[in-house]
């Protein structure tokens, strides 16, 4: 979440764009900086003095102190200015200058920085082997150094690890794309294509898959059995093959198989999104080669049998067996391995060819003198060399002279060596690809569980946000909790304010998702166990669930990368609610003063102190105050009343939500204010225990008539209570609407 904290001020600034569209007036930002000590003159003098010092520091032989997360490095200025394209060598480092300590502070990894600074010193960039490649790349990117310039000593290692990592990432991304719920296909064509590519999609697709597999097998077996000897020919007495005996049956079988293959090919061609690409792909070429011989055979039969070509065509029928590669992933892995080892295989072939030619030549000339020798020519000797080098040794050609035998011996020895050399490379490639495919399979199997976990984490995060927000709102009214205000987490405050602005713009309110929503696959309605909940929800579940289902399909990408952060965040929030210091290490504390008054405020501290006065606000409050005077944009009451607040996991939040709406004008029930306070306190205990779901379900069952909007307190009491806490009061009328302190 640290990176998001960096963007939070920006998001809040951009929220100005919501102001004209808002249904309800937007709340003022959390708190303002006290303007004490912020006179315009002093900061400007400080800046001029800073600039003076920076000008003065331009001398070349000056030492720079670079503080990387506490570890100080010192070097000459000229050292870093050697490479003006990088961060340290250019003006960009001035952004990181700390004027108090006169050093450059970077909040990065000191171990990797050591390597980077050595690059400036020695001109050679090394890659430390124990570092993760991704972290190293990130650091290089931060400091503006290209990985190209890694020195020769470490380059190979870097390249290999980088390639491995990229392949793994591409793999993961491919599978992530498959994981994403696909939008419903637009047309029959798309359905068909998806069915062809991924047989698990529907039952029809798997039926099709198995049927084609079966027919491929039948066709191949028929081809094989075609040639088996099947009994003697009654006319000539010679044994004849089954193909000749049962020629009509085999012909029918062949026709049926080819029919099916043709239909399948044309269906695939129709369904393919990019037909040209499909026609050029390997699988389609195999399909064509598998069925063409049949058709060519048909046409040739009509012209008359040309037996040589016909026989060749029959040979091509065996390529049907390659159609199995669509059905078998192992075959595809093997094919991919061979493709990726192409260079090694090429080397093997090349060296073998060289050796064969050499040895065959020598052998021929050695055996030339023998009478009735088998080594009639050099090409004839090739056969001997191949058989010897691969240690087959058929024995159909053997040397007779002693020179020939010597050469033969050397040939077999060298054969063993030459063939053994590229094999380990091929084996390692194969094992790498095989492990990758195994990992892919494992991930596929865990896909469903992972999606549920992602959804859980996401819901937990948002629940945690909402819960923390409510807790903050509720704590800020409780006078006993004043001591905790110093521990307030500024990031949370800002974030809650942003969420609140959106709530008011659209006149909705964030709720926590109940436990069933976490487990449901896509419905997203907050159904809760308990009969009373269902009664209240019944009206809302059906018409809107359809709507929600449509919404679900727009989930953004990137759930996986967020998962880790959100898990950590929600776990922290759940465990350490009152200890905001704990989450300080996650959040980036460097928020900026962005206020309208031109008085410049003291710089925020760079350390992770949760000093409340250091936190700043964004869009200036006066704008929003004036906004409230318009009646056109505040709709509020009728729309609120017409929606019954639906039950959700936190039973007490309907009451709280009304309590927190400061723009309500409808009459309040004084009597229920005490009830609210009591419930608020018990809510605190609920949150302190960390788990909301179990306890609130119990309370839900105890209070059967919860479910209507009840605004508990009188507005004036509420307002007066808030008056003391906020600093944005304009006049009494507006306090009603705008007093809200986070």
Partner 1 sequence: MSWVHSAIATTDRRPSRILESCKRFSRRLSTGITRAVRRIQVPDARLDSILSKNFQHPRSLDEIVKCTRFSKSEIRLLYRSFKQDCPGGNVSEERLREIYLQLFPQGNSVKYAHYLFSVIDRNHRGTFTFDDYILTLSVLCRGTIDEKLRWIFRLYDINGDGQLTRENVTEVILSLYDLLGTAAQPRVDEREILQHVDKIFESFDPMQTEEITMDDFIDYCKRVSFMT
Give yes or no for residue 418 binding partner 1 (CB under 8 A).
no
Nearer to partner 1 by C-beta: 236 or 642?
A: 642
Nearer to partner 1 by C-beta: 96 or 430?
A: 96
Give yes or no for residue 565 binding partner 1 (CB under 8 A).
yes
Identified binder of partner 1 from the candidate list 225, 292, 338, 502, rule CB under 8 A: 502
Name the DSSP class of 551.
H
Tell me the C-alpha distance between 192 and 200, whole Å. 13
Give yes or no for residue 500 binding partner 1 (CB under 8 A).
no
Q: Which of residues 509-528 bind partner 1 (CB under 8 A)?
A: 509-513, 524
Convert residues 371-400 into a mask of x (bound to partner 1 by CB under 8 A) and - (unbound): ------------------------------
Name the DSSP class of 520.
S
CB of 447 to partner 1, least distance (A): 21
Name the DSSP class of 154.
H
Give yes or no for residue 141 binding partner 1 (CB under 8 A).
yes
Identified binder of partner 1 from the candidate list 77, 161, 162, 485, rule CB under 8 A: 162
CB of 405 to partner 1, least distance (A): 32
Tokens representing residue 254 in the block: 């062949």
Q: Angle at Cα 347 formed by Cα 346 and Cα 348, nearest 5°?
A: 90
Nearer to partner 1 by C-beta: 389 or 466?
A: 466
Strands lying side by side in the sheet with 97-98 = 71-76, 63-68, 103-106, 97-98
3-state secondary structure of 64: strand
3-state secondary structure of 702: helix
Would you mind telling me the total number of residues written for the chain in this entry?
A: 742
> By CB under 8 A, which span of 42-50, 176-184, 406-414, 436-444 interacts with partner 1?
42-50
CB of 13 to partner 1, least distance (A): 4
For residue 106, what are the β-bridge partners?
Answer: 68
Give yes or no for residue 3 binding partner 1 (CB under 8 A).
yes
Nearer to partner 1 by C-beta: 12 or 326?
A: 12
CB of 419 to partner 1, least distance (A): 19
Identified binder of partner 1 from the candidate list 220, 258, 468, 645, rule CB under 8 A: 645
Give yes or no for residue 172 binding partner 1 (CB under 8 A).
no
Question: Would you call 343 exposed, middle or buried from its count of C-beta atoms within 10 A (0-12, 13-18, 19+)?
Answer: exposed
Name the DSSP class of 715.
H
Give yes or no for residue 678 binding partner 1 (CB under 8 A).
no
Give the distance from CA 521 to its chain's centroid.
Answer: 20
CB of 481 to partner 1, least distance (A): 26
Tell me the C-alpha distance between 709 and 416, whole Å. 87
Give yes or no for residue 643 binding partner 1 (CB under 8 A).
yes
Nearer to partner 1 by C-beta: 366 or 518?
A: 518
Q: Angle at Cα 464 formed by Cα 459 and Cα 470, nearest 5°?
A: 130
CB of 88 to partner 1, least distance (A): 12
Identified binder of partner 1 from the candidate list 190, 477, 484, 590, rule CB under 8 A: 590
> CB neighbours of 708 closer than 8 A, spacing ≥ 6?
644, 645, 654
Give yes or no for residue 283 binding partner 1 (CB under 8 A).
no
- SS3 for 20-52 is HHCCCCCCCCCCCCCCCCCCCHHHHHHHHHHHH
Tell me the C-alpha distance between 546 and 522, whole Å. 10
Q: What are phi and psi of 597, to 5 degrees?
A: -55, 140
Give yes or no for residue 138 binding partner 1 (CB under 8 A).
yes
Minimal CA–CA distance to 625: which of 535, 552, 483, 728? 728
Left if phi > 0, otherwise alpha if psi is -120 to 50, otherwise beta: which for 59? beta
Q: Which of residues 43-82 bind partner 1 (CB under 8 A)?
A: 43-44, 47, 50-51
Give yes or no for residue 461 binding partner 1 (CB under 8 A).
yes
> By CB under 8 A, which span of 308-316, 422-430, 481-489, 584-592 interacts with partner 1?
584-592
Nearer to partner 1 by C-beta: 245 or 603?
A: 603
Identified binder of partner 1 from the candidate list 317, 595, 610, 679, rule CB under 8 A: 595
Tell me the C-alpha distance between 308 and 285, whole Å. 24
Residue count at the site for partner 1 (CB under 8 A)?
Answer: 113
Q: Which of residues 536-555 bind partner 1 (CB under 8 A)?
A: 540, 544, 547-548, 551-552, 554-555
Q: Which of residues 333-372 bind partner 1 (CB under 8 A)?
A: 343, 347
CB of 136 to partner 1, least distance (A): 12
Identified binder of partner 1 from the candidate list 57, 74, 94, 178, rule CB under 8 A: 94
Convert residues 618-637 into a mask of x (bound to partner 1 by CB under 8 A) and - (unbound): xx--xxx-xx-xx-xx-x--
Give yes or no for residue 681 binding partner 1 (CB under 8 A).
no
C-alpha dihedral sign at 122, 127, 130, 133: positive
Asked if residues 52 and 45 have their Cβ atoms less than 8 Å apart, the reply is no
Minimal CA–CA distance to 577: which of 484, 510, 677? 484
Tokens representing residue 351 in the block: 């060296």
């Amino acid at each position: 979440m640290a990176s998001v904290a960096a963007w939070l001020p920006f998001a809040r600034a951009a929220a100005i764009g919501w102001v004209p569209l808002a249904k309800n007036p937007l709340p003022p930002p959390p708190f303002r900086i006290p303007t004490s000590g912020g006179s315009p003159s002093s900061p400007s003098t400080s800046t001029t003095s800073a600039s003076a010092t920076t000008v003065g520091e331009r001398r070349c032989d000056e030492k720079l102190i670079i503080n990387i997360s506490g570890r100080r490095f010192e070097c000459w200025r000229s050292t870093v200015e050697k490479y003006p394209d990088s961060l340290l060598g250019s003006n960009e480092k001035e952004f990181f200058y700390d004027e108090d300590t006169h050093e450059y502070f970077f909040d990065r990894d000191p171990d990797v920085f050591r390597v980077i600074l050595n690059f400036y010193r020695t001109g050679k960039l090394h890659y430390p082997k124990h570092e993760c490649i991704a972290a190293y790349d990130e650091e290089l990117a931060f400091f503006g150094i290209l990985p190209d310039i890694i020195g020769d000593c470490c380059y190979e290692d870097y390249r290999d690890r980088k390639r491995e990592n990229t392949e793994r990432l591409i793999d993961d991304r491919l599978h992530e794309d498959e994981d994403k719920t696909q939008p419903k296909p637009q047309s029959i064509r798309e359905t068909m294509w998806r069915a062809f590519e991924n047989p698990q999609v529907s039952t029809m697709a798997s039926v099709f898959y198995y049927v084609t597999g079966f027919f491929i097998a039948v066709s191949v077996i028929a081809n094989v059995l075609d040639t088996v000897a099947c009994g003697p020919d009654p006319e000539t007495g010679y044994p004849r093959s089954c193909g000749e005996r049962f020629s009509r049956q085999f012909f029918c079988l062949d026709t049926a198989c080819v029919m099916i293959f043709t239909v399948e090919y044309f269906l695939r061609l129709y369904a393919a999104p990019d037909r040209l690409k499909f026609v050029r792909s390997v699988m389609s070429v195999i399909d064509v080669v598998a069925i063409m011989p049949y058709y060519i055979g048909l046409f040739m039969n009509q012209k008359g049998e040309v037996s040589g070509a016909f026989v060749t065509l029959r040979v091509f029928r065996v390529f049907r067996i390659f159609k199995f590669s669509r059905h078998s992933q192992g075959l595809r892995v093997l094919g991919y391995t061979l493709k990726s080892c192409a260079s090694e295989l090429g080397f093997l072939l090349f060296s073998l060819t060289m050796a064969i030619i050499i040895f065959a030549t020598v052998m021929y000339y050695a055996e030339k003198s023998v009478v009735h020798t088998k080594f009639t020519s050099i090409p004839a000797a090739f056969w001997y060399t191949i058989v010897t080098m691969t240690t087959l040794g058929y024995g159909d050609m053997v040397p007779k002279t002693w020179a020939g035998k010597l050469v033969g011996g050397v040939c077999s020895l060298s054969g063993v060596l030459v063939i053994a050399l590229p094999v380990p490379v091929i084996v390692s490639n194969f094992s790498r690809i095989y492990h990758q495919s195994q990992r892919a399979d494992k991930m596929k199997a865990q896909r469903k569980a992972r999606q549920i976990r992602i959804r859980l984490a996401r819901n937990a995060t948002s629940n945690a946000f909402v819960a923390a927000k409510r807790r903050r709102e509720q704590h800020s009214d409780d006078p006993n909790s004043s001591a905790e205000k110093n521990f307030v987490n500024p990031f949370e405050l800002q974030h809650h304010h942003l969420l609140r602005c959106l709530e008011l713009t659209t006149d909705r309110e964030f709720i926590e998702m109940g436990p069933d929503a976490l487990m449901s696959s896509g419905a997203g309605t907050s159904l809760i166990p308990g009969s009373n909940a269902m009664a209240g929800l019944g009206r809302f579940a059906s018409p809107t669930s359809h709507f929600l289902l449509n919404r679900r399909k727009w989930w953004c990408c990137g759930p996986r990368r967020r998962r880790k952060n959100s898990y950590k965040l929600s776990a922290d929030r759940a465990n350490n609610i009152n200890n905001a210091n704990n989450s300080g290490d996650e959040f980036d504390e460097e928020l900026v003063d962005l206020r309208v008054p031109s008085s410049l405020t003291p710089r925020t501290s760079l350390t992770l102190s949760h000093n409340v006065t250091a936190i700043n606000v964004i869009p200036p409050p006066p704008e929003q105050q004036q906004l409230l005077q318009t009646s056109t944009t505040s709709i509020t009451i009728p729309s609120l009343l017409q929606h019954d607040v639906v039950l959700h996991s936190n039973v007490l939040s309907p009451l709280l939500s009304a309590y927190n709406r400061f723009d309500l004008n409808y009459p309040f029930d004084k009597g229920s204010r005490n009830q609210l306070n009591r419930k608020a306190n018990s809510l605190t205990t609920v949150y302190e225990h960390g788990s909301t779901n179990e306890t609130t379900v119990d309370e839900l069952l105890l209070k059967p008539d919860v479910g209507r909007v009840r605004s508990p307190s009188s507005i004036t009491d509420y307002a007066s209570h808030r008056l003391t806490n906020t600093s944005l009061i304009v006049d009494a009328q507006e306090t009603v609407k705008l007093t809200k302190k986070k």
